[in-house]
Structure 1
Amino acid sequence: MSFLKKFGQRSRERAFTDRANREQDPDSVLADDDDRDPFSVNITGTLDLTIPDDESNNATTPTYDAQSPHLLPLNVDPPGTVHVAFEVTSAEVIKDQRSSYVLYTILVSSSSGVERLPTTVDRRYSDFEKLNSVLKKKHPHIMEDVSFPRKLLVGNFSSETIAHRSRSFEQYLSHVFSVYELRYSNELAAFFYLNDAKEGYSLLCSEQYLEAISLFEKCLPVCEKLYGGGHLRVVSLLHALVVCYHAIEKLNKAQKYAEVALKSTNDPVVDEPSIALIKLSIRLCWSLGKDKQDLEKRLQELKARKINVDNVPDLKDIVKLNTLV
C-alpha cells in the first residue's frame, strides 16, 4: 500500500481525543509547494434533496454585512453553540508537467444537525498561505498569536512533513474558526466557498442556470456546515437554487429548496427575499398540485400586520441583486 493511502487511512482513524492532545510546535519547519492556482476549489457533498429528473414539470433588498460579526442574521447559532471540526483525511502528491505539490483533503464536520453527507474541500499549501496572509493584514492583533507552518526548501514530500503539516492545518483552521471576527470574515469564506458562489451568481445573472446550479450545490453544504442552516448566506444560496431550478422548469427541485429555505427563515424576521420566496412557493405548489394553504395563510398574516407584500420584486430580481457574496 502506498504512503498516501496509508496516510489517508491513518488520518481518518485519528480520534478527536487524540487531536485535543496535540500541541502546535511554533518552531516547526515544514515543506512548501508551488504557489500556483490559489483558491482552486473542489468541494463535495450535497444536501439530500435528490429528485428524479423525470419528475420535472413544465407548466431593493435588505443586506447583511458579513464584516460586522456582532449582527446575528436570522436564526444563526450564537458563537460557541455549534462545534465545527476540521480534519485532514488524506494528502495526495499532484504532479504535472511543470511541478508537483501536495493537495490536502479537509473534512468539515458540524454538530448542528446537517451531517447528511460528508463535506470536504481540497486545498494546497499556497491556499492556506494566502488565507493566513490576508488575515494577518486585516486582523494583525488577532493573528499575532496564531501559529502557521513555515516553508521549507527541501523535503517537500516526506511522510513526516506531510503528516506534521496536516495536523498543523487542522489546528490552524480550528484556531481561526474559534475567533468570532475571523469566523464570519469574507477571507475565511473565500478560502472555503465564496469564489465559487460569486461565479455562480454571475452565471445566474447571465441565465446560465445549469452551470450556476452546479456551483451553488457545491457551495451550499460547506456553507451550511460553517454557519448553520439559518445563516443568511446559506438562505441566500437556497434562494438562488430555487430561482435556477424554477427557470429551467424543474419545479419539484425548486419547491424542495424553497421548502428548506422557508423553514430556515423564521418570523419575526420579515424581509423582501422571504416574502418573495413565499409568493413563489405558492405558485410552485399550485403548479405541482400541492397544498398551499399554510403559505397563503402566512402571506395573509403579513398583510394583517400592514406589511406591503404586493410591491415586493420577484425572487429572481432580488437574487440578481445579491450582495452577500
Structure 2
Amino acid sequence: MAEPGRGSDDPNDSDPTAGGMPSCSSLTTRELQQNWKQAKQRERPVRLLFEIPSSRVVEQPLDKHVVFQIVVIRSGSFDSRRVSVERRYSDFLRLHHKLLQEFDEELEDVSLPRKILTRNFNPEKISQRRLALQDYLAKLFSTRCVRHSALFSEFFTEQEQKQAHVLLRAGQFKAALELLLTVLEIQEKLLPWQNSTLTVPTLSAVAVCYRDLDEPEQAFSTAQRALPPVRRYGLKHYRAALLELLVDLGYQLGRPVAQLQDELTALRNGERGEVSFQSLKEVVIHKFI
C-alpha cells in the first residue's frame, strides 16, 4: 500500500470517471463537484505542517517559562481546520530524549535547538527559538520512523488527554469534552501515519462525556465511529463496553439495536469470561490511572 503523500501506481487514481463511475451526463452538478474534489485530493500529496506562530511567557510564584503555540495543519487535503496546543521547551527535550532511545541512528541529522542559558526571556531570543523549534518538528516529520511512532503523536496529545481524564473523573464533563475534541482533531490529522486504533480511547471518552452531558445522539454517533477499528483489531475490552453503551442509547433513542445486542451476547458467551463487564466509563477512566 502506498504511503500517504506518495503517488499511486493505479492509473485510475488520476481519472475521476474511471473505475466504473457514472458518466458525466448522468451526474448532477453537486455530484460532479464532489467527484472533482475527490480526484484532486488523490492527486495532491497529503502531509502535515507544523507552525509555531506565537509564544508567551508564563509567570508563576516559583517558576517562569515560555510556552510555544504549535499549530497542526494537514495540507494536500480539504481538511482546512487548524488546531493548536502549547508546549514548553522541556516538552521538546523529553520528546527528543525518548526518540533518541528508540531511533538513535535515524536521528543523526536531526538536532534539537540548544537550551538558552542566558537572556532566556529576551523577545529576539524567544523568536529565534520559536523558528528553530518549528524547523525541528518539520525535520522530525520528514523522518519516516518518527512520524509513524506513537511517541510523535503522544507529544501533541498526551498532556491534554491526561488533563481531560482528570476532569472526567471529577465529573467536569464539559471541560473534559473541550480538551478531548482538540485531541481528537489532532489524532485525525495524524491517522494516515498512525495506527487506526489511535482515536479509539479518545472517541470512547468523548462518547462518555456526551452521555453524561445528556446528549445521547452525539454519544451514540461517537461510539459508532469507535466501533469499526475496535472490531477490526480485536480490542475486546473496548468492544464489549462500546456495544453495551450503544445498546442502551439505542433503546433510549428508538434505534434498531437487535444486531448490536446479538453481537454483545455472542462476544461475552464466546470469550468464556475473558471479556470485561466494565462500563465504557470505567474502561476510559482506568486508561490513564
Cα deviation per residue 1:197-234 (whole Å; 9 max; x = unaligned)?
23433554565544543432332222222235973231
Corresponding position: 1:134 with 2:108: no
1:223 paired to 2:187: yes
1:232 to 1:112, Cα distance in 2 relative to 1, 3 A: farther
Question: Which secondary structure state, in structure 2, belongs to the residue aligned with residue 232 of structure 1?
Answer: coil
Match of 1:146 in 2: 110
- The aligned residue for residue 234 of structure 1 is 199
Counterpart of 1:196? 160
Structure 2: distance between partners of 1:241 and 1:146: 36
**Could you tell me how far 1:154 is from its partner in structure 2?**
4.6
What displacement does 1:240 show? 1.4
1:287 maps to a residue whose letter is Q
Amino acid of the structure 1 residue aligned with 2:245: L
TM-score, normalised with respect to structure 1: 0.58
- SS at 2:51 equivalent: strand
Q: CA distance change for structure 1 residues 253 and 154 in 2, over 3 Å: closer, same or farther? A: same
Unaligned runs of 5+ in 1: 1-80
Shift of 1:271: 3.6
Q: CA deviation at 1:141?
A: 2.5
- How much has 1:279 moved relative to structure 2? 3.6
The amino acid that maps onto 2:184 is L
Query: 1:285 maps to which residue?
Result: 250
- Paired position in structure 1 for 2:146: 182
Greater relative CO, 1 or 2 (CA 8 Å, sep 6+): 1
- Equivalent residue, structure 1, for 2:281: 316
**Are residues 1:172 and 2:136 paired?**
yes
Q: Percent identity?
A: 30
Whether the 8 Å CA contact 2:83–2:182 is kept in 1: the answer is: no
SS of the counterpart of 1:133? helix
Change (3 A) 1:124 1:321: closer
Aligned pair count? 240
Deviation at 1:146, TM superposition (A): 0.8
Select the structure that is richer in helix. Answer: 2
The aligned residue for residue 255 of structure 1 is: 220
Q: CA deviation at 1:237?
A: 0.7
| Aligned positions of 1:60-75 closer than 5 A | none
2:51 matches 1:87? yes
Q: What is the aligned partner in structure 1 of residue 87 from structure 2?
A: 123
Structure 1 position 269, deviation (Å): 4.1
Structure 1 segments (4+ residues) deviating >6 Å: 96-99, 301-307
Secondary structure at the aligned position of 1:265 is classed as helix
Counterpart AA for 2:177? I
Question: Equivalents in 2 of 1:208, 1:310: separation in Å?
Answer: 36
Q: Contact between 1:238 and 1:257, CA under 8 Å: does it hold in 2?
A: yes
Distance 1:124 1:220 in 2: 21
Does the CA contact (< 8 Å) of 1:114 and 1:225 recur in 2? no
- How much is the aligned-residue C-alpha RMSD, in angstroms? 3.9
Structure 1 SS opposite 2:199: helix
Q: Distance in 1 between matches of 2:130 and 2:163?
A: 29
CA contact (8 A) 1:265 1:274 kept: no
